[in-house]
Homo-oligomer: A and B are copies of this chain.
Amino acid sequence: MSATRPLAAPLENRTLRQQVADHLREEILSARLAPGSELGEVALARSLGISRGPLREALGQLAAEGLVTIVPRRGAVVKRLTRQEFIDAYEVREALESLAIKLAVPRLGAADKAELHHMCEQMERAGQNNDPDRFFELNRQFHARLVRASGNSKLEEVHSQLVAQMGRLMKQSLQLRGGIEQSVAEHRAILDAVDADDPERAARLLEEHIEVPQRVLRSLAAQEIFEQEEVPGNDD
């Protein structure tokens, strides 16, 4: 019980496919690999110093996770969401988190609530410091924390996968809502309902909170987010 990684990785048993999949997932989520980027197998394998076999398996896995699109005999590209797909994903995410908070509220202890409040304060501070990247990361952790607190592993799995797919776009959608102060206020309102052990009110507030970017996306000509980038592919 004194291992450096007590959870889920007892030994360095990680196979190459897993390492490559994790690496590429991280590259995609961090936007170092832009949507639309073509993932040539030989070039990628060379740059990673491995063979094409494990790389192909990793790409297949990422395709099943919805992060890349594989066209038979044409290769793999980082998946690019249409506006409709993004709205659809938002709706599903709303339903998932609504369920999550209803399940989570009766299970939360004082320590959990305190931690959520702490995260909320950090988010406010990030807003004051004008650090949107940090705010985004904290926001992601806040929602992930709520979902995990539901105690429903499948829910957590589906949610994290969905958030990963929406990925980079969520960061930009953050700019579409009323600004960081508005978002922090909404989080506080949700936490109030959580403190009061009122799952229904918490769920309603959470749904409204998540709905904000959805409404903006529907109404506004927020096309720019999607229409943009034709992606140079490889710029040397």
Point out residues on A near B: beta carbons under 8 Å: 13-15, 17-18, 53, 56-57, 60-61, 63-65, 72-73, 84-85, 88-89, 91-92, 94-96, 98-99, 103, 152-155, 158, 162
Total identical chains: 2
Chain B residue with minimal CB distance to A17?
A: B60
| Chain B residues whose CB sits within 8 angstroms of the CB of A154 once the complex forms | 85, 88-89, 91-92, 162
Interface centre among A18, A85, A91, A96 (most CB of B within 10 A): A91
Q: Is the CB of B103 within 8 A of A158?
A: no
**Which of B60, B89, B103 interacts with A60 by CB under 8 Å?**
B60
- Given that A13-B72, A72-B15 are known contacts, is A91 also in contact with B155, CB under 8 Å in the complex? yes
**Which of B53, B91, B158 interacts with A152 by CB under 8 Å?**
B91
Q: Is the CB of B96 within 8 A of A153?
A: no
Q: Is the CB of B99 within 8 A of A95?
A: yes
Nearest chain B CB to A39's CB is how many angstroms away?
Answer: 15
Q: Is the CB of B103 within 8 A of A91?
A: yes
Nearest chain B CB to A2's CB is how many angstroms away?
Answer: 23
- Given that A57-B57, A64-B64, A95-B96 are known contacts, is A88 also in contact with B155, CB under 8 Å in the complex? yes
Chain B residue with minimal CB distance to A13?
A: B72
